[in-house]
Amino acid sequence: MTEHNYPYDRAADALFLDFDGTLVDLASEPGGVLVSPALIEALQRLQQESGGAIAIVSGRPMDELDHFLKPLRLPLAGVHGAERRTADGSVVQQPVPDASHLQQRLQAFADSHGLLMERKRGAVALHYRHQPHLESLCIETMSAALQQEPGFSMLRGKMVVEAKPHINKGDAIAAFMREAPFRGRRPVFIGDDVTDEAGFAWVQSEVAKGLGIKVGNGATQAGLRVDNPAAVLSLLQQSLTRALPASPPLLTPASG
């Protein structure tokens, strides 16, 4: 066994996981993702064997994450950290700007172009997976709307452009790391999208001295890369069983 094949040590590390594109394959609509029983089992065992030092850090609201992961009740950071449930069950909500005017402004655009608009606390996302040719128009429209609405950052993801509060996944992970049972461990964060880069930056900083693992293709600052959510599940299962390394190896160095 080498650290390269097993970059996560459940006894010494704190594990942070994105959801869409990391634990589950992306779906045409946010509600269409499928969560396998094997994933629930692996997460449940990791929660038990790590002393609870595992959390989901996602752009989704926490209630959606709970829905997909039931019966598990993990520590969560939703809407990129705007809302967070700690390991003891306490809910922390960060102050966020009122997104109602922005949501109203974008709803007419979404309706007229057959786009899915997702409303969140203090955020709004335009999904154009069904209309990929409208990517540039979606970005331009969101950018123009944000010029009239201070307090938001624009974030581009996989077939989605989102307006969110000035909060990121790195901030959420840092908050968890100040609390039990995460405090004193090395942070490991696995994610797949541009929205996860702030998390990679924080865990690999000189302060945290942790590791980022990128899922799939694309430029990244993460230290390692894994192919897809199925490979993430295999990696988690191997960390539990200490099975022989996969062939070919699940993990490769991420070259940017």
Active site residues: 18
The CA-to-CA distance between both ends of the chain, in Å, stands at: 26
Closest CA to 203 of 180, 228, 216, 220: 220
Q: Which residues of 82-91 are buried (b: 16+ CB within 10 A; e: fewer)?
A: bbbbbbeeee
Question: Counting beta carbons within 10 angstroms of the beta carbon of residue 207, is it exposed (0 to 12), middle (13 to 18) or buried (19 or more)?
Answer: exposed
H/E run at residue 102: helix 100-113
Closest CA to 99 of 118, 77, 115, 120: 120
Half-sphere exposure of 210 (CA within 13 A, CB side): 29
Helix/strand/coil (H/E/C) assignment for every residue in 113-124: HCCEEEEECCEE
- Enumerate the β-bridge partners of residue 116: 127
The Cα 159–Cα 28 span in angstroms is 10
Structure tokens at 120: 């969140």
